[in-house]
Amino acid sequence: MEKQIWQKYRERGLQVFGVNAGERSDPEKNARQFVTKNEVTYPTLMDTDDTMMETYKIEAFPTVAIIDRKGTLRYIQAGFSEEAVRQQVEALLAER
């Protein structure tokens, strides 16, 4: 996600947020380790009470959700398909 999507589209207005969820043992430490290991530069949010998981019915990690400028969920998929995400992002960025 970092290099394939965030770095490529952020100058065009894309916002990316990582959400750390589903961890019971020291979630903040685990999130920091993931961010450092994977050189993540987009913001990472903590879902320690599983609100995001319940809201978006997340059952697998990673799950990619794309929300448009109006706050409407436009795409959600377990796993990461660079091509599918790229297509969704390009289509949304083309909308004005």
Rg for the chain, CA atoms, rounded: 14
Q: How far apart are CA 54 and CA 68, in angstroms?
A: 20
Q: What is the pLDDT of residue 22?
A: 86
pLDDT digits (tens, 9 = 90+) for 61-75: 999 999 999 999 999
The token duo for 44 is 């990472």
- Residue 86's CB: how many other CB atoms inside 10 A? 14
How far, in Å, CA of 92 to CA of 46, rounded?
A: 26
Residues 72-81 pLDDT 10s: 999 999 999 9
- Asked whether the whole model's pTM tops 0.85, one would answer yes
Fold assignment, 2-94: Glutaredoxin (3.40.30)
- pLDDT, one tens digit per residue, over 31-48 is 999 999 999 999 999 999
Residue 24, pLDDT above cutoff 90: no
